[in-house]
């Protein structure tokens, strides 16, 4: 009998699982983004992220476990195996290269690229993705500043930290906007907050209150939760 904490890993790949299925790819990518320090993700959280019924998420997790792409930990949830992580990072790479192409070549806004990339990442070939990457100059980051994994799933080093972790009166360069909605991205754009912009943290309210930020478009209050998702680094000459 299996103990409650025992890890289940099934390595056989059933022939009926299509790795090119949009559903499979979406589940693997969502699971990768939800995992924090390799901790299991509950099926309820995964279902909410993908806007599907919990029963549907549970059924897919069983299929992915049988395929050796996820590990199921009883009473805790699932996490990616090495094979699953490799497949997920392939989708992350495709998505971010497409986003950069849409912004750099077709001049899409930061608030528009994610939705388009969600569709295109399942439709274009590996050859076209690599051609895009070459034409773009082999970028290491997407328009939001998120790193693009290389072919081995490795990320470029990044020392950026959340805005709210810095002390006031220090010039900061915005590096990345993490997982923001289109509405939030439009709002940040209006304030002049986007990758590459130089800002200055004026003040921080106590107890995770708002921060006051001086941006290229003036001085603005930013909610602490939003400031946590804006990564920056000191702006050095």
Q: Over 166-229, what HEC string results? A: CCCCCEEEEEEECCCCHHHHHHHHHHCCCCCCEEEEEEECCCCCCEEEEECCEEEEECHHHHHC
0.85 exceeded by the pTM?
A: yes
The third-level CATH classification (topology) of the domain covering 161-234 is SH3 type barrels. (2.30.30)
Two tokens at 38? 């390799």
Two tokens at 203? 């003040």
Could you list the pLDDT tens digit for every one of the 237 residues in the chain?
Answer: 333 333 333 334 444 788 889 999 999 999 999 997 778 999 999 999 999 999 999 999 999 999 999 998 888 899 999 999 999 999 999 999 999 999 999 999 999 999 999 999 999 999 999 999 999 999 999 999 999 999 999 998 888 999 999 999 989 999 999 988 999 999 999 999 999 999 999 999 999 999 999 999 999 999 999 999 999 999 987
**Residue extents of the structural domains in the chain:** 161-234
């Amino acid at each position: 009998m299996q103990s409650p904490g025992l890890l289940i890993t099934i390595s056989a790949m059933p022939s009926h699982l299509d790795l090119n299925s949009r559903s499979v790819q979406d589940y693997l990518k969502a699971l990768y983004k939800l995992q924090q320090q390799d901790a299991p993700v509950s099926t309820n959280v995964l279902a909410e992220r993908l806007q599907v019924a919990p029963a549907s998420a549970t059924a897919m997790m069983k299929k992915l476990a049988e395929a050796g792409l996820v590990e199921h930990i009883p009473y805790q949830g699932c996490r990616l195996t090495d094979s699953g992580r490799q497949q997920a990072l392939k989708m992350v790479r495709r998505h971010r290269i497409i986003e950069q192409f849409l912004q750099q070549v077709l001049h899409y806004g930061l608030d528009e690229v994610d939705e388009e990339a969600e569709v295109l990442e399942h439709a274009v070939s590996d050859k076209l993705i690599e051609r895009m990457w070459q034409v773009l100059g082999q970028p290491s980051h997407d328009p939001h500043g998120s790193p693009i994994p290389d072919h081995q799933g490795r990320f470029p080093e990044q020392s950026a930290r959340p805005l709210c972790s810095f002390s006031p009166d220090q010039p900061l360069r915005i590096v990345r906007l993490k997982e923001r909605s289109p509405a939030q991205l439009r709002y940040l754009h209006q304030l002049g907050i986007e990758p590459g912009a130089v800002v200055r943290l004026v003040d921080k309210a106590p107890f995770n209150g708002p921060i006051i930020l001086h941006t290229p478009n003036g001085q603005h209050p930013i909610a602490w939760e939003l400031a946590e998702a804006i990564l920056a680094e000191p702006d050095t000459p």
